[in-house]
Structure 1
Amino acid sequence: MLDIRRLHMLRTVAARGSIAAAAQALALSPGAVSQQLSALRRDVGVDLLRPDGRTVTLTEAGRVLLEHADRILAAVQEAESAVAAVKGTVGATATLAALPSTVGAIVAPALTALAARHPQLTVSCLLTDQAQLRELTLGTVDVVLGQRYHDLPDSTPQGIEVFPLLDDPLLVVTAVGQAGTRPVALRELATHNLAVPPPTTDCGQAILHACHQAGFTPTTRYVSADIAAQLALARAGLATALIPRTAIDPATPGIRMAPLADRPIVRTLFAATRRTETANPTTRAVITALNTAARQGGGTPLPAS
């Protein structure tokens, strides 16, 4: 009989591209992963992986087995959710992947509320700007607090259930004395030195897209995904930043914030989990806490789904 843990390792290696990367994601040593994959190879009697430079790729047999592994692991997830629903109690552990820009307004209040309401539940949190939904599909995390910018295509993978939390517009941030709080037309920023995230990020793409739609290419003097760095540059009068409203502490000294008047750049923050026929009480508890914190933390709350 095939070992489910080994199938999960095969899927992780296929997604990460190497045994070393998969081992890091699984918190195991590369030797342990190699040993389990060798055992899986003996179980099926055929090679599943082939070396490809510094990476590995699936053989034809490996691709066929992975297709079945996806269905098997989804069925296991469904079974676990069904049993948890019958028990009707929140479990002991959950893992949340979240954007760093959501920690202050949403993640920290949500985790505080969870600790008070479900003291037996320990939530581990992975803070990352990239690939949260992939971690969800791989089973590395249970819940994602992610974002989607309104003018960018939706890239949500199949099998993922999304719960919109709030609309979060980007604000124009400058030093005190450089501008007022009146709404700013995006075209006005054509003459500004901007501090923006890299164009490989969702936020960076959304800003570039909006500026191009407004008829100009922005002067990106400073490029950083670190919102604290963007705020420091704005406070020093060196740059103008475009930062999501929920990522800014309104008590931050030395800055002015103003909305975009004509071409708002808006992200929808959402909670997501793997889709199952039966809701898992533990993941639903985490999502409920995130939804409550989002409604209390600012932005434009969206109707509950």
Structure 2
Amino acid sequence: MLDIRRLHMLRTVAARGSIAAAAQSLDLSAGAVSQQLSALRQDMGVDLLRPDGRTVALTEAGRVLLEHADRIFGAVREAESAVAAVRGTVGATTTLAALPSTVAGIVAPALTALGADHPQLTVTCLITDQAQLRELTLGAVDVVLGQRYTHLPEETPRGIGVSPLLDDPLLVVTAGSRAVEQPVALRDLATRSLALPPPTTDCGQAILHACRQAGFTPAPRYVTADITAQLTLARAGLATALVPRTAVDPTTPGIRTSPIEGHPVQRLLFAATRHTESANPTTTAVVAALRAAARQAARSA
């Protein structure tokens, strides 16, 4: 009989590209993972992985096995959720992955509310902007607070359910008073000193796409994905930044925020969970808290 733990290791290696990376994410030694994969190969009687440069890739047999593994893990999730639904109570632990830019406006208020409503629940929070949905499909996290920019196609992995939380436009941030000014046209930023995220990030791609539509290609003087650094540069009068609304504290002194005229650069915040037929009370409670915090953030904007 197949060992589900070994299947999970194969799945993790395939997703992360190497035995070393998989071992790190599983909190195991590379030798332990290699041993379990060798045992799985013996169980199946065929090679499941092959060298691919400095990484490894699935063989044809490995791809076939992984397709079945996805269905097996889906059935396990269904069983766990069905039992949790019968129990009907919020569990003791869960894991949330969230974007750094959502911590102050949404995550912290949501976790505070969860602590008051469900004191037995411990939420471990992974603050990252890297591949959250992959972590969700691998079972490394239970809920993701993610983002999608409107110029990008919607790509939701199979087996993932998404709940929209908030439309979160980017604001033009400069030095000045807290008062919101009249909308600023993107084309007017062409000659300004800009602090922008790298074009390899979702936000950087969205800004680059919008600026090109406005007739210019931005040449930022400062390139950083750190929103705190962007706001510091703006407050010092060194740059103009484009920052999501929920990442800007409206009471922060020394900055002025303005909406983008015409077609704003819009990101959509969402909560994602693994889809199951039976609702899991724990993940349902986390998503509800995120939704309530997002509504409050929208009212406070």
TM range (shorter): over 0.9
Letter in 2 for 1:133: L
1:254 equivalent in structure 2:
254
* 1:299 Cα deviation after fit: 6.3
Q: Does 1:227 align with 2:220?
A: no
- Check the 8 A contact 1:191/1:219 in 2, yes or no: no
Tell me the distance in 1 between the aligned counterparts of 2:168 and 2:72.
Answer: 38
In 2: Cα distance, 1:15 partner to 1:231 partner: 35
Partner of 2:217: 217
In structure 1, distance between residues paired with 2:300 and 2:202: 20
Deviates more, 1:25-34 or 1:225-234: 25-34
Question: Corresponding residue for 1:129?
Answer: 129
Paired with 1:157 and 1:217, the residues of 2 have a C-alpha distance of 32
Counterpart in 2 of 1:202?
Answer: 202
For 1:299 and 1:291, locate their aligned partners in 2 and report how far apart those are by CA, in whole Å.
13
Residue 50 of structure 1 corresponds to 50
Runs of 4+ in 1 over 3 A off after TM superposition: none
For residue 164 of structure 1, give the secondary structure of its aligned residue in structure 2: strand
Cα distance between partner residues in 1 of 2:216 and 2:280: 48
Q: Deviations for 1:216-246, whole angstroms, at most 9, x for unmatched residues?
A: 1112111100001101111111110000010
By how many angstroms is 1:54 displaced? 2.0
Counterpart of 1:288 in structure 2: which amino acid?
A: A
TM-score when normalising by structure 1: 0.95
Question: Which amino acid in 1 is paired with 2:114?
Answer: L
SS for the counterpart of 1:220 is coil
Q: Distance in 2 between matches of 1:293 and 1:151?
A: 26
Following the alignment from structure 2 to structure 1, what is the Cα–Cα distance between the partners of residues 265 and 117? 36
Computed over aligned residues only, the root mean square deviation of the Cα atoms, in angstroms, reads: 1.7
Give per-residue Cα distances to partners, 1:252-300, cap 9 Å, x unaligned. 2211111112221111110001111111111111100100111112269
Q: Distance in 1 between matches of 2:38 and 2:18?
A: 14
Match of 2:85 in 1: 85
Matches within 5 A, 1:240-251: 240-251=240-251
Letter in 1 for 2:74: A
**1:155 aligned to 2:158?**
no
Match of 2:165 in 1: 165
- What are the residue-to-residue correspondences of 1:1-305 with 2, within 5 Å? 1-176=1-176, 181-298=181-298
Which residue identity is paired with 2:183? P
Q: Deviations over 1:37-60 (max 9, x none)?
A: 122122222221122232111122
TM-score relative to the length of structure 2: 0.96
Q: What's the offset of the Cα at 1:102?
A: 0.1
Deviates most, 155-164 or 180-189: 180-189
Contact 1:186 1:263 in 2 (8 A): no
SS in 2 for 1:297: helix
Per the TM alignment, residue 90 of structure 1 is displaced from its structure 2 partner at its CA by 0.9
Aligned partner letter, 1:174: T
Between stretches 285-294 and 25-34, larger displacement belongs to 25-34
Query: How many residue pairs get matched?
Result: 301
Worse-matched range after superposition: 255-264 or 40-49: 40-49
Partner of 1:298: helix, strand, or coil? helix
Q: Please tell me the residue identity of whatever aligns with 2:48.
A: L
Percentage identity across aligned positions? 79
Amino acid paired to 2:5 = R
Counterpart CA distance in 2 for 1:161 and 1:100 is 22
Q: Secondary structure at the match of 1:191?
A: coil
Aligned residue for 2:220, secondary structure, equals strand
Amino acid at match of 2:207: I
Shift in CA distance, 88/203, structure 1 to aligned 2, threshold 3 Å: same
Unaligned runs of 5+ in 1: none
**Helix, strand or coil for the counterpart of 1:10?**
helix
Residue deviations 1:52-80 (CA, integer Å, cap 9, x gap):
23211112221111111111011111111
The one-letter code sitting in structure 2 at the alignment partner of 1:38 is S
SS of 1:174's equivalent in the other structure is strand
In 2, Cα distance between the equivalents of 1:211 and 1:247? 21
CA distance in 2, matches of 1:155, 1:59: 26
